[in-house]
Amino acid sequence: MAAKNPPTRTNAKLPVKISSRTGKPLPAEAETAELFPPSDIPLDILKQPMPDPLPRPGKRKLGVHLSTSGGVSTALERAVRIGANTLQIFSSSPRQWRGQIISPEEAARFRDLREENKIGPVVIHANYLINCCSLQLHFRAQSVTALRGELERALQLGADYLVLHPGSWRGMTRAEGLNAAAESIEAAFESMPWRDTNFTLLIENTAGSEFSLGGSFEQVGELIEQLRRHAPVGACLDTCHTHVAGYDIVSDEGYKETTALIEKTIGCKNVRVWHSNDAKAQRGSKLDRHQQIGRGTIGLAPFARLLNDKRFAHCAFVAETPVDEPGDERRNLEALTALVK
């Protein structure tokens, strides 16, 4: 459950929670629990009452990772209901090797709904099982096959970005792991029809565990550089991962130093998506635990700074925050929207 009080490091106020039933501000937390028992309101956005009027998206590209329950196209319906103009999905189960088959009809409906509602970019997050730099060759080969499936589905849906965690190089040197990941990704892209599209693979930074490729900005930048000749590639940076990996994005001076390092190692123009997540764990802990916007150890002020940084004006900002209570997706989206100047 989200903490009841925001961090003390910022005086910025948390946005008022809005009722998913009435669209009006909710009363105090204790009273809300009595008026709207959680058991009476489904977590699924599509099973909640239709907002009237529908929320209007803001001027920045702000969205949430959304469920595809009922078919991938239903994620777009959920986006419309919460006022998102971008979104992230899984195109298949993120913890199974067998990839989902998307019918041509469902893919066409996805594309049509996206165009009708002017939603984009569309971001897909790759399977968590994929390890492009595994020491085990059979596991690496299985990862290449799974990544090819992710690429096929992304192109079928007309997605703009596929976000990838490169994997763990345990048992190898970092250089060997980097080369293995590059070779695996190149193999997955072989003969893929991406050249006439706007599709880009995004390498995501990780929370900084010892053998996780992408645990530093330098590693993300090195992998991007190796892949440039073989695939369309950029970066996705995660605020929670950045924070718990030890980078300072909270203080003014720390933010300046961290973003200067991003420019030096990756290039701000190559960052296409920011996963906008607060953190439950402390800076430098290397514990990847996402928290509601403004209710964790990062706080609201750093998100306001990031959202209004002109160097990242081209980016999409997508929350991957917990859904503990009905309406959390919309509340986190509104928390980000309220910070845009």
**CA 132, chain centre distance (Å):** 20
CA distance 138 to 336: 42
CA distance 82 to 51: 8
**For position 33, what pLDDT does the model report?**
40
Q: CB of 220 within 8 A of CB of 257?
A: no
**pLDDT tens per residue, range 293-309:** 999 999 999 999 999 99
Give the residue from 175, 185, 174 showing the smallest Cα distance to 209: 174
**For position 41, what pLDDT does the model report?**
86
Could you tell me the two tokens for 51?
């907002």
Question: Residue ranges of the domains in the chain?
Answer: 58-337
Give the residue from 200, 231, 153 showing the smallest Cα distance to 314: 200
Q: Are strands 200-204 and 212-213 parallel, antiparallel or unpaired?
A: unpaired
φ/ψ of residue 332, rounded to 5:
-70, -35
Q: Are strands 212-213 and 167-168 parallel, antiparallel or unpaired?
A: antiparallel
Intervals of the chain under pLDDT 70:
1-39
3-state secondary structure 189-240: HCCCCCCCCCCEEEEECCCCCCCEECCCHHHHHHHHHHHCCCCCEEEEEEHH
CA distance 221 to 214: 9
Residue 93 gets the label, from left (phi > 0), alpha (psi -120 to 50) or beta, of beta
Residue reference for tokens 């490091």:
9
CA distance 127 to 32: 37
At 62, is the secondary structure helix, strand, or coil?
Answer: strand
Which amino acid does the sequence have at 55? P
Length of the chain: 341
CA distance 135 to 143: 12
**For position 18, what pLDDT does the model report?**
52
Could you tell me the two tokens for 147?
């990544």
Superfamily of domain 58-337: Divalent-metal-dependent TIM barrel enzymes (3.20.20.150)
φ/ψ of residue 108, rounded to 5:
-65, -40
